[in-house]
Structure 1
Amino acid sequence: MEPLLAILVGLFFAAAIYLMLSRYSIRIMLGIAILGNAVNLLIFTGGRLTRAVPPIIPAGLDALPAGTANPLPQALILTAIVISFSFLAFLLVLTYRAYQDLGTDDTSEMRAAEPDDRPLPPLGY
């Protein structure tokens, strides 16, 4: 099972890098999302894939008994999912705002676009 997941992780990384090298900001965001999923799958695969029992330590033992699952990769993945969701939401808002102001999602045209002379809206404190 690990070789199959290793190939899948490689495909995810390849697709993510391909999308992040694009000129369009939506494709870049999709590449970042796929890259986050590839890293999560890599951590999950690195934590061993076994049908092990939950890591419940009986009273009196100081370490995990043999044959139990490693809880650390699972905890790291759960944390990474929450962080990547908030990061993707921020990027989505940032990209939408840039599209509203500049009228394009092409990064080359974004660099060439001149900002208009409109006054900035008040901050609303």
Structure 2
Amino acid sequence: MTTFLVPLLLIGGLTSTGVYLLLERNLTRMLLGLLLIGNAVNLLMLTVGGASGNPPIRGNTSDGATTTADPLAQGMILTAIVISMGIAAFVLALAYRSYRLTTVEEVSNDPEDTRVSQQSGTEDEAEDIPQPTAALDTDAPDELDALPGFEGAK
């Protein structure tokens, strides 16, 4: 089986460019990175699927080919295309919502994560953690019950 170098270089280039774009903070670049990685995986499945051949229908031949083409790779690629378009629509919706809320397309650090990462680890953290109180369960309705007014069948 001969493997051509050009498709493999194209797959490697698409994957590396997609990973680079995926690591950016801009949501549009993240989306482009996802799409490039999806296309690279589709090309990889097509390359690994083997050479073309006869259609997988009994009795049909095509250009004198001696082998039968594998339809699984093509079916998987069609499924991957649908999934990648769904992911693209979801990321576009996230980018639109983020832009409408903050008018900035760049993803910033979460303030709570920044605060937690800046805390020193030398403090006694056991004092900050609230200890649970031991409460006995009663049949009386509590404030967190789903139906506090419901007292059961009498």
TM-score (norm 1): 0.76
Task: State, as a whole percentage, how many aligned pairs show the same letter.
Answer: 41
- What is aligned with 2:90? 90
The structure with the largest alpha-carbon Rg is 2
Residue 3 (structure 1) shift = 1.7
Number of matched residues? 104
- What is aligned with 1:8? 10
* Aligned counterparts, 1:16-95, within 5 A: 16-50=18-52, 52-58=53-59, 67-95=67-95
Structure 1, residues 84-115: CA drift from partner, whole Å, max 9, x if none? Answer: 11111111011111111011111126x35xxx
Q: Return the structure number with greater relative CO, CA threshold 8 A, min gap 6.
A: 1
Following TM superposition, where does structure 1 have runs of at least 4 consecutive aligned residues deviating by more than 6 angstroms?
none
TM-score (norm 2): 0.63
Code of the residue aligned with 2:56 in structure 1: it is P
Structure 2 stretches lacking a partner, 5+ long: 60-65, 112-154
RMSD of aligned residue pairs (Cα, Å): 1.8
Give the structure with the larger helix fraction.
1
Which whole-Å CA distance do the structure 2 matches of 1:96 and 1:7 have between them? 34
Residue 39 (structure 1) shift = 0.5
Structure 1, residues 39-62: CA drift from partner, whole Å, max 9, x if none? Answer: 111011000133x1211124xxxx
1:40 and 1:80 in contact (8 A); partners too: yes
Which whole-Å CA distance do the structure 2 matches of 1:93 and 1:81 have between them? 18
Which whole-Å CA distance do the structure 2 matches of 1:7 and 1:57 have between them? 36
